[in-house]
Amino acid sequence: MSLYWGDLHNHCAVSYGDGTPERALDNARQHLDFCTITGHAFWPDMPMDLARNNKGGGIHMGGFAKLQHFWPQLRLQQSAAKTICPTALV
């Protein structure tokens, strides 16, 4: 049995995180055996006071919209990363 290191919950600037998807994948190639870039498409039980609050809710609502916009491009980038580095589980 082998031990693998990875990140299954990596946010970047395509939602409400920081950094580009390319940077996230490059970091993964250097340090991990596998990774995926994820974002939250929605928060079904978001507290109403948070949804109304610009500081908390605005960040999340803006992130949901950004992810919806960038999702097709992000899927292509992750597929390309898998092709470039086929032995990795990226």
Tens digit of each residue's pLDDT (9 = 90 or more) over 30-64 = 888 888 887 776 677 666 666 566 565 666 677 78
Q: How confident is the model at residue 73 (pLDDT cuts 50, 70, 90)?
A: confident
pTM of this prediction exceeds 0.75: no
Rg (CA), the chain: 15
Considering the chain, what is the average pLDDT of its residues?
Answer: 75
Task: Name the band, by pLDDT with cuts 50, 70 and 90, for residue 86.
Answer: very low
| Cβ within 8 Å of residue 4, ≥6 positions away | 33, 34, 89
Contact assessment for residue 22 and residue 16, using Cβ atoms and an 8 Å cutoff: no
57: region left, alpha or beta (phi > 0 left; psi from -120 to 50 alpha): alpha
The CB density around residue 15, as the number of other CB atoms within 10 Å, is 23
* Closest of 64, 61, 79, 85 to residue 21, by C-alpha: 79
